[in-house]
């Protein structure tokens, strides 16, 4: 794996590295960790990379690695830069024969996302997107319960993603995470809705298998001086008739990272909280069960995404690592000319397009007087 | 107290009686418990009432009680009938000099509600409405925290009220509670939104002190054959700029009575769940506190609505009893020509009007293509 | 009902009154509420009792009430005084033909307890003891699950009762509740172990149906100047081979009233917390279920002790009221010459003896160098 | 790092590997993973080790690695075999100049443990013990709160470790984890008490800084045919006067891995559950706070053991990795002739001795009729 972005002072880059190497399927062999060559070198050194595998630009990395003999060169690139720097390296890597795994939202805008689909399809290479919350074992279980029909037809979906860390004007406090996320040139046209709203949208569609058909959004910017939305409330209508609510916020003061989803069908309901990820509530009018990793009769999918006996809590890194491991399995399968095992799934370039389309749709809806805005295709 | 409605097989009538007598401030002295004279008599007998204080109609009760000497006759009427039978007895009781406490929603429609305001204002008598969830000590505390300014300006409010008990066509199962609540002639123009949506609306406005200014609603009827909405999702905009979400449902399969409210301000947030009513979460980016009755330094309002040392859970009845007790205090004050003590507050006829206006507004919005519908005055 | 003890400034007296009248089966008709005639009168007045039914001593009350015609006089006495004043009125009331319900521990010492058994047996009257925690619906369910054999043979029982309210020398702060509970002449030979340890002992034996056979206790007095134990840890051995732990404390700083019980059998386990009394955890290696009042298929016993639809939390008062209601049913049955319905059970004089024997056993054990002390019969 | 034990079908070996490499401070360079050379080779291959670094015995590994040039050879060994195979490789490794990190309990018996102390002291090398639960950030915070004096003098400690996975005779089911843990020749003289009781003992002493002075134990073997204890209840007395309870079980049917600790002092109390490790309850009679990683003003120790922003749950692996990282820091410091930074602490050989002494003490106590048994030195 060659990494693009993720210098020592970045947050998500280190998460990706830990996730990538967690299951001993992936090794970091090269990288360009920063636009600053000094920072990049320092990071490479701290990661025990040889100097000649730490590059000054992603273009250099892709071209130079390509020249290395197979088996020695990186097998894929991992892109962990701010959003505006996703598309260029992803496209170039794919076009030079490298598989790609990329942070979300996939690109700066929908146009890039659609072009990336074409590149992926043309090259036939493996593309993964780190909507990491889908990697939790209990989310796999939730999805399988819906698929099994145990809930009957889905009627209602509520997905919430409140955070509070941007309750103040943190972008004025020299706070790196805040600065780029609230800068339209780096983050894209949406703030909160792009950063975490897309996670909520992806999770809802992943668990239910339903696609949002139309929506009605009310986005807000509460903190004076902020350039992008920091809160949004959305009514959802899904294909097939289910209704729902999605709300996400970075000004919900006191909330940490409280992604939750509730799914209700004719016969039962599910509830899951990211901050207590090892419990899936499975309820019906007849009773309330707590489903837990490695307890009782879980689906093959849930079992395939846990590593521990019951009661040994796995968390954020492990779920993230599941995405990387499954991506690695797909890369291996590709190398061996095999089909990937659907048990080991991960978000795709098409999920990435949905995410960018979601952003465009909520923005369009929020500035419209029409009640319903069709989900942009 | 004379009760109208609440025969032995009714649910809420018995709740009202227990709530009314819980603090030894109120005695049941007469009633008309059913449209069936036999049922009414049987109920009266079971309640140890003398036969001559069990009446055949509310008209009879009001007129006959009025003839009794002061001190012997009932002081007020408690109305616990289905919604269509709230207004007629309330009006007649007031016009004959009796104070009134009434279940919610206050009337069958907004027109009746507005007329009731006039009657209350003209008679100067005490009118109470049993939005019972405002009676919990930790809701009093929440309201005081908002009032104190500790949260700063309120930015976002989320209020949810999912139930699952109408997931099937229960009105076809000879299920009394389901039958009248889904019958427009008895329940009014809304189902779920009238029955529990109004509780959510009332709670949000009560805790925050903010009024909903406009909203965007999507109501649904999921169960085939049902005549009224059984689910609704609503975007809220409050006067002063706060935004919010309200959703209520009676088809959220597996949910019991899961009213929750979240309030976020510039400086902190609150979270409360009706099913664990003795914990108020008070969070900010600096920490997370659990506020509990009789622990630490609570507001006078919270203290005035709890009866027990810490860790002795009070629940639904006790909160309901707080409404009755406070109403009784106001009736006493009226009798003594005094002003009621604002510490012992309870929902008023104006809250009742808000509830009916909320119903009309969500219905209008739900059938409109306009995004925003002004809260009907 | 005639009440002995429970003046306006007492805590538990008002709890008893509310519990007694909650289900409209019991009416307070007379009382002697304090040793001070003024206090007693003031309390009677506040409770709307006629002056001539408020007495100056329990002896007077018993004798004068006895002279009243049947149907007018009290049917039973409720004793809510400090422990040293339980036995004398209980004995006299029974000997004069009145049924008795009494707070716990039943008497000041084991000798009195055993004598009370004789009086109850000789008079054939109804005697109830307010180990109120056995009145919770989910405790009834727990007991029924054990009885049903679903857990298999019971192997381990853990019961804990931590409180923190005596972490300081509150008896020096003119704090009435603290003063008598830490005074051996009023409370008996044990402090914490008598006040709440007996609740824990009773709950463990009630839920499991097992009797403690021997135990090993370590009692402590942590607060300087205190005359009785304020903490105790006990190893338990039950008849039939189950083992267990009981610990109770009034110096567990920060704890409210955190009675919990865990029961483990060959096939599954149960867990219940008094502070969230409406959830019973039923676990096995196959899964974890949350049992809740009015949800799904509960035992007849659980159903008979709840009053509300699901999700409407009942609490401490309602559980207490169940004890009184069941006692009232037994009194009614006695009056009608019938056997009481075992579905409506309540703690008996024999439970009271167990409680006093438990106190004597833990005291003996705590001062012994022998490891095991047989439960005193 | 060279690993001893941990073939592919082992559980804890893989945990150690993930923990060791998690922070990119440690690399697996060699190993002997099984007594079976085939298994060992297969494991080495799966871990991408070169064939010549996969050995057939720990003796071979230690001697051959020693011959490699510094910088190339392993820096330390990680011992993850069953208990009877801890001491021999630990001693030999240390005596050949390699630092050692070892699973718990440290040795098969106290005699070996004491000898190991001597070897560590004589060699001056770094020795770590994986009492992994002390690696959680919130446990670091708990310890710092106690140290700070905020709780005042500690009065009571309750530590519980219930599991249910040995509720049946699993050692007869060809269940590898069960077989060796219930075999005295591999596990040592204690079963449950050695496997998890020592974790509880270590955690209690770590958090409080207090040493157990004497105890009273009641160990049981509930499952017929089992050779070692599967449950134990223990009264504790600490130096300085604190009292406590420790109970551990592997037959608490339905429990996963429910290690909990409660600490009460004169001024406040703490509560922590391993299965929700990111919440530390900090209570006093004035209030209840939830302390969470990366929220508010935590101790330097807590901050040094978390990697993520708030609300991104870290779990078992991350706590385990903290032990390895801190051990690696100490190894580095040793290499550089520096003192280790006490902020990055980890369990030592002396903790290991305490663990074995605890096992011997509870065994002696359990078979004694004396109430109190002094903690064996």
Instruction: Return the pLDDT at C9.
Output: 81
Q: Which residues contact B164 (CB under 8 A, 6 or more apart)?
A: A264, A269, A283, A284, A285, B249, B250, B251, B252, B253, B254, B255, B256
User: If we measure between CA atoms, which residue out of A57, A115, A107 comes closest to residue A85?
Assistant: A107
- Cβ neighbours of D247 in C, within 8 Å: 158, 245
User: If we measure between CA atoms, which residue out of C164, C227, C236 comes closest to residue C203?
Assistant: C236
DSSP D306-347: --S-TTS---HHHHHHHHHHHHHHHHHHHHTT-PPPTTS---
What pLDDT band is residue B326 in, cutting at 50, 70 and 90?
very high
* pLDDT beneath 50, residues of chain A: none
Whether domain B136-307+352-366 has CATH 3.30.360.10: the reply is yes
Calpha distance A29→A2 (Å, rounded): 6
CB contact under 8 A, A258 and D309: no
* Backbone CA torsion sign across B7, B12, B15, B20: negative
Instruction: Return the pLDDT at B347.
Output: 98
User: If we measure between CA atoms, which residue out of B95, B219, B172, D49 comes closest to residue A27?
Assistant: D49
Chain D interface includes A309 (CB < 8 A): yes
Cβ–Cβ contacts within 10 Å for residue D190, how many?
24
Gyration radius of chain D's alpha carbons: 20
Residue identified by tokens 């040094």 is: D304
Chain C interface includes D197 (CB < 8 A): no
* CA distance to C10, C273, D172, D175, D250, per residue, from D223 (Å): 50, 28, 11, 15, 10
Whether domain C136-305+352-366 has CATH 3.30.360.10: the reply is yes
| Span between the terminal Cα atoms of chain D, in Å | 33
What pLDDT band is residue B134 in, cutting at 50, 70 and 90?
very high
CB contact under 8 A, B158 and A156: no
Q: Which of C295, C298, C310 best probes binding to A when mutated, by most A CB atoms within 10 angstroms?
A: C295
* pLDDT beneath 70, residues of chain D: none
Contact (Cβ atoms closer than 8 angstroms) between residue A232 and residue A192:
yes
Count A/D contacts: CB-CB distance under 8 Å.
Answer: 91
* CA distance to B308, C230, C259, C270, D280, per residue, from C161 (Å): 18, 12, 4, 17, 20
User: If we measure between CA atoms, which residue out of D358, D279, B49, B264 comes closest to residue B41?
Assistant: B49
pLDDT digits (tens, 9 = 90+) for B233-260: 999 999 999 999 999 999 999 999 999 9
- Cβ neighbours of C145 in D, within 8 Å: none
- Cβ neighbours of A255 in D, within 8 Å: 311
User: A289 — phi, psi (to 5°)?
Assistant: -115, 145
Contact (Cβ atoms closer than 8 angstroms) between residue B187 and residue B195:
yes
Kindly list the strands in the beta sheet with B30-32, ordered across the sheet, starting from the edge strand earlier in the chain: B30-32, B2-4, B76-79, B99-102, B127-129
CB contact under 8 A, D291 and B287: yes
Chain A interface includes D29 (CB < 8 A): no
pLDDT digits (tens, 9 = 90+) for C18-49: 999 999 999 999 999 999 999 999 999 999 99
Residue identified by tokens 């409404």 is: B323
So where are chain A's domains? 2-129, 135-306+352-366
What secondary structure, in 3-state letters, does chain B show? CEEECCCCCCCHHHHHHHHHHCCCCCCCCEEECCCCHHHHHHHHHHCCCCHHHECCCHHHHHHHHHHCCCCCCCCEEEECCCHHHCHHHHHHHHHCCCEEEECCCCCCCHHHHHHHHHHHHHHCCCEEECCHHHHCHHHHHHHHHHHHCCCCCEEEEEEEEECCCCCCCHHHCCCHHHHHHCCHHHHCCCCHHHHHHHHHHHHHHHHHCCCEEEEEEEEECCCCCCCCCCEEEEEEEECCCCEEEEEEECCCCCCCCCCEEEEEECCCEEEEECCCCCCEEEEECCEEEEECCCCCCCCHHHHCCCCCCCCCCCCHHHHHHHHHHHHHHHHHHHHCCCCCCCCCCCCCHHHHHHHHHHHHHHHHHHCCCECCEECCC
Chain D interface includes B290 (CB < 8 A): yes
For the ranges B73-82, B309-318, C171-180, D328-337, the lowest mean pLDDT is seen at C171-180
Indicate the CATH number for domain A2-129: 3.40.50.720
CB contact under 8 A, C312 and B316: yes
Chain C interface includes D342 (CB < 8 A): no
CA angle C52, C55, C60 (to 5 degrees): 110
Instruction: Return the pLDDT at C134.
Output: 98
pLDDT digits (tens, 9 = 90+) for B274-305: 999 999 999 999 999 999 999 999 999 999 99
ipTM of predicted complex: 0.96
Contact (Cβ atoms closer than 8 angstroms) between residue D226 and residue D182:
yes
pLDDT digits (tens, 9 = 90+) for C115-138: 999 999 999 999 999 999 999 999
Looking at chain B, which subunits does it touch, using at least 3 CB pairs closer than 8 Å as the criterion? Answer: A, C, D
Report the relative pairing of strands D287-291 and D154-162 from DSSP bridges. Answer: unpaired
Cβ–Cβ contacts within 10 Å for residue B14, how many?
20
Nearest CB partner across the interface for B296, out of D286, D290, D291: D286
The tokens of B216 are what?
């965007």
Instruction: Return the pLDDT at D11.
Output: 82
pLDDT digits (tens, 9 = 90+) for A137-195: 999 999 999 999 999 999 999 999 999 999 999 999 989 899 999 999 999 999 999 99
Instruction: Return the pLDDT at C11.
Output: 82
What pLDDT band is residue C10 in, cutting at 50, 70 and 90?
confident
Chain C interface includes B9 (CB < 8 A): no
Contact (Cβ atoms closer than 8 angstroms) between residue C83 and residue C108:
yes
Calpha distance D113→D188 (Å, rounded): 12
Half-sphere CA count of B26, side-chain side, radius 13 A: 32
Nearest CB partner across the interface for C247, out of D158, D251, D370: D158
Instruction: Return the pLDDT at C377.
Output: 85
User: If we measure between CA atoms, which residue out of D272, D260, D340 comes closest to residue D302?
Assistant: D272
What is the fold of A135-306+352-366? Dihydrodipicolinate Reductase; domain 2 (3.30.360)
Nearest chain B residue to A234 by CA: give it: B235
| Span between the terminal Cα atoms of chain B, in Å | 33
Instruction: Return the pLDDT at D9.
Output: 81
User: If we measure between CA atoms, which residue out of A237, A234, A232 comes closest to residue A220?
Assistant: A232
CB contact under 8 A, C253 and D231: no
- What does the pLDDT average to over B71-91? 96
Chain A interface includes D21 (CB < 8 A): yes
């Amino acid at each position: 794996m060659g990494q693009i972005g993720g210098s020592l002072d970045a947050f998500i880059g280190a998460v990706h590295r830990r996730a990538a190497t967690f299951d001993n399927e992936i090794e970091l062999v090269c990288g360009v960790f920063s636009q600053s060559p000094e920072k990049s070198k320092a990071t490479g050194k701290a990661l025990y990379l040889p100097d000649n595998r730490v590059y000054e630009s992603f273009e250099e990395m892709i071209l130079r690695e390509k020249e290395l003999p197979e088996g020695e060169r990186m097998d894929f690139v991992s892109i962990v830069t701010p959003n505006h720097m996703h598309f260029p390296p992803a496209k170039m890597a794919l076009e030079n024969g490298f598989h790609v795994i990329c942070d979300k939202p996939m690109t700066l805008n929908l146009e890039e996302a659609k072009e990336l689909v074409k590149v992926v399809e043309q090259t036939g290479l493996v593309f993964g997107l780190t909507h990491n919350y889908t990697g939790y074992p209990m989310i796999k279980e939730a999805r399988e319960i819906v698929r099994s029909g145990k809930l009957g037809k889905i009627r209602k979906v509520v997905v919430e993603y409140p955070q509070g860390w941007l309750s103040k004007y943190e972008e004025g406090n020299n706070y790196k995470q805040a600065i780029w996320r609230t800068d339209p040139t780096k983050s894209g046209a949406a703030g909160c809705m792009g950063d975490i709203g897309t996670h909520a949208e992806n999770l809802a569609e992943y668990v239910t298998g339903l696609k949002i058909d139309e929506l009605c959004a009310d986005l807000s910017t509460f903190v004076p001086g902020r350039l992008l939305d920091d809160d949004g409330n959305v009514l959802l209508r899904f294909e097939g008739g289910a209704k729902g609510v999605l709300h996400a916020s970075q000004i919900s003061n006191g909330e940490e990272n409280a992604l939750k989803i509730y799914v209700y069908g004719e016969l039962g309901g599910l509830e899951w909280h990211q901050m207590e990820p090892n419990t899936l509530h499975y309820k019906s009018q007849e009773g309330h069960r707590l489903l837990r990793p490695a307890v009782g009769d879980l689906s093959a999918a849930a079992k395939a995404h846990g590593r521990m006996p019951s009661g040994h809590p796995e968390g954020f890194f492990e779920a993230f690592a599941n995405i990387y491991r499954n991506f690695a399995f797909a890369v291996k399968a590709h190398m061996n000319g095999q089909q990937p095992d659907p048990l080991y799934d991960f978000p795709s370039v098409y999920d990435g397009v949905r995410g960018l389309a979601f952003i465009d749709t909520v923005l369009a809806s929020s500035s419209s007087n029409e009640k319903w805005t069709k989900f942009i295709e």
